[in-house]
Amino acid sequence: MGPVPSSAIALLGLAATIGVFAYVYRDATRVEMGRPRLWAAIAAGSVAIGFGLYLFVPAAPMTGVILTANTGPVLYTFEREIATEDDDPPEPGQLPHQK
């Protein structure tokens, strides 16, 4: 099996970018986070930049490409955790999210 053509990777990158945008927008809207389109654009944009680095910058180290692609989704995940956490302290003997 030979190398994967660049056009296939570009199509995968486009599909992944659209998928990440749609998922983050839907999730941010569901949990009522502020600016869901902005968070979706940040997450999807970093994925698109990661694929772009892979396709157009052959000297880019793979670890840098992966870190770039993951930055937006990771930032969104941290912000989502902060936005959905409970402000009340947990009761003694219970886990924080246990009702």
Return the domain boundaries, the chain: 6-84
Query: What is d(CA 99, CA 87) in angstroms, rounded to the nearest whole number?
Result: 14
Query: What is d(CA 82, CA 37) in angstroms, rounded to the nearest whole number?
Result: 18
Query: What is d(CA 23, CA 28) in angstroms, rounded to the nearest whole number?
Result: 8
34-91 pLDDT, tens digit each: 999 999 999 999 999 999 999 999 899 999 999 999 999 999 999 999 888 877 776 7
Angle between helices 62-84 and 36-56 (to 10 degrees): 170
Please return the burial class of 92, using the count of CB atoms within 10 Å of its CB with bins 0-12, 13-18 and 19+: exposed
What would the mean pLDDT of 15-40 be, rounded to a whole number? 96
52-64 pLDDT, tens digit each: 999 999 899 999 9
H helical segments located in the chain? 6-30, 36-56, 62-84
Please return the burial class of 79, using the count of CB atoms within 10 Å of its CB with bins 0-12, 13-18 and 19+: middle
Largest CA distance in the chain: 60
